[in-house]
Amino acid sequence: MSDRPSRVPLAVLLVLASIGVSALQRTAPSTDAPARAVAAAEAFLATLDQGQRLKANMDLNEKTRTVWSNLPTGIVMQVGATERNGLKLGDMTPAQERAALALVAATLSRDGFQKAMAIVDADQVLETRSAPDRQASSRIRFGRAEYYVGILGKPSTTDPWMMQFGGHHLAINVTLAGREHVLTPTHTGAQPARYTVDGRTIRPLGDENDKAFALINALTADQQKQAILGYDVRNLVLGPGTDGKMIAPEGVRATTFTSAQRAMLVDLVREWVDMLGDEAAAAKMKEIQTGLADTYFAWAGATTNGKGAYFRIQGPTVLIEYAPQGATDANTDHIHTIYRDPTNDYATRATRR
């Protein structure tokens, strides 16, 4: 599909995407999650020719798994790679693309898949807006065609393998090790952070934003004083290219929270964790709640929803950052987020066993 017209009307594209998403969700069987993911991976690989298969499926090792980024196609990634793992949607036939997205859907929850596709659609909006002004020589490309689906390792219900789905502002890294499915590290982002389709407003990261503002405003003045960092934060601290690093925690400790405030914090964390299916998400939430006493919530920027603000949630097994790009008070239309587990990125606990 590399010869697909680049100026397909946006509305048509987004409607088709929505239909595709709905169809995928209707057809997804509710069987055993690892088996369903393996079946979807094998079905996708079966649609590819030999050359495509070699590109879509590669070894899983400590180097290949780190090849992901927030950056658009055409920019060297933070880890030095020039291209993402896998095959991009723009180089697939419609049938291959359906199979590829069915694989993505099989490794995520319904909400997780919808969020990922809303981010892809936002980037299509960005492509439509920016393409007319872009210099012909520019290698930068945005849009749906520039999202890659990759399989690292051999799909298996017992041995570790990985599904990567990524492009500008999206890096879904799901490591599947038997029944343990791990989503960290994963990057989500959005630009624009708000767009309309047929009069309907889409905000890919809107719930993350709104729940965080609700939480900061539910804190007491004393708690806010501890939570608000008092300095400006213009980007993610531990974004792409910082695997294996962890910062010293700051902000207010959740031990000071009431049960209602804790519930709000947990609900906010779920925006990332629940991108995985029920079983994996429940296991992860249990782990995060166990460490809630050692979890910190930090904030930088205004506390009035509608303005930009950075926030961070950091506990023994979780790090989440949400960072508007540019001046935090002003910029609400370009967001980066990161979700990490300092103890288990890429399911290292399971793969070490």
Of 186 and 331, which has the nearer Cβ to other proteins?
331
Closest CA to 345 of 7, 62, 54: 62
Question: Of 126, 70, 76, whose CA–CA distance to 337 is shortest?
Answer: 70
Q: Give the β-pairing of 180-182 and 200-202.
A: unpaired
Contact at 8 Å (CB) between 317 and 272? no
DSSP state of 278: H
Strands (DSSP E) along 154-238, which ranges? Answer: 161-167, 170-177, 180-182, 186-190, 195-197, 200-202
Tell the smallest beta-carbon distance from residue 77 to other proteins (Å): 10
Q: How far is the CB of 118 from other proteins (least distance, A)?
A: 18
Closest to other proteins by CB, 18 vs 317, is 317
Say if CB 73 and CB 141 are below 8 A apart: yes
Nearer to other proteins (CB atom), residue 47 or residue 303: 303
Min dist. Cβ of residue 122 to other proteins (A): 11
Distance in Å, CB of 83 to other proteins, minimum: 14
Tell me how far, at minimum, the Cβ of 224 lies from other proteins, in Å: 17
3-state secondary structure of 37: helix
For other proteins, which is the closer residue by CB, 51 or 231?
231
- Give least dist CB 81 to other proteins, A: 13
Closer Cβ to other proteins, 19 or 76, answer by number: 76
CB within 8 Å of 8: residues ≥ 6 apart: none
Which one, of 190, 195, 229, lies nearest residue 208 by Cα?
190
Q: Which pair of tokens denotes residue 242?
A: 């910082």
Least distance from other proteins to the Cβ atom of residue 253, Å:
14
What pairing do the DSSP bridges indicate for beta strands 195-197 and 200-202? antiparallel
Nearer of residues 231 and 260 to other proteins, judged by Cβ: 231
CA distances from 279 to 23, 108, 140, 274 (A): 23, 11, 38, 10
When the beta carbons of 4 and 134 are compared against other proteins, the nearer one is: 134
Is 249 within 8 Å of 241 (Cβ atoms)? Answer: no
Nearer to other proteins, 45 or 75 (CB): 75
* Cα–Cα nearest to 169, from 183, 196, 188: 188
Q: Contact positions toward other proteins, by CB under 8 A? A: 71-72, 75-76, 78, 80, 126, 129-130, 133-134, 138-140, 142, 168, 191, 229-235, 237, 242, 245-248, 250, 325-326, 334, 342
Least spacing, CB of residue 76 vs other proteins, in Å:
6
H/E stretch holding 339 reads strand 335-340
* Least distance between other proteins and beta carbon 159 (Å): 30
If you write DSSP's letter for every residue of 97-145 in order, what string do you get? HHHHHHHHHHHS-HHHHHHHHHHHHHHHHHHHHHGGGS-TT---B-SGG
Residue 201 CB neighbour total at 10 angstroms = 9
Can the peptide bond before residue 316 be classed as cis, meaning omega within 30 degrees of 0? no
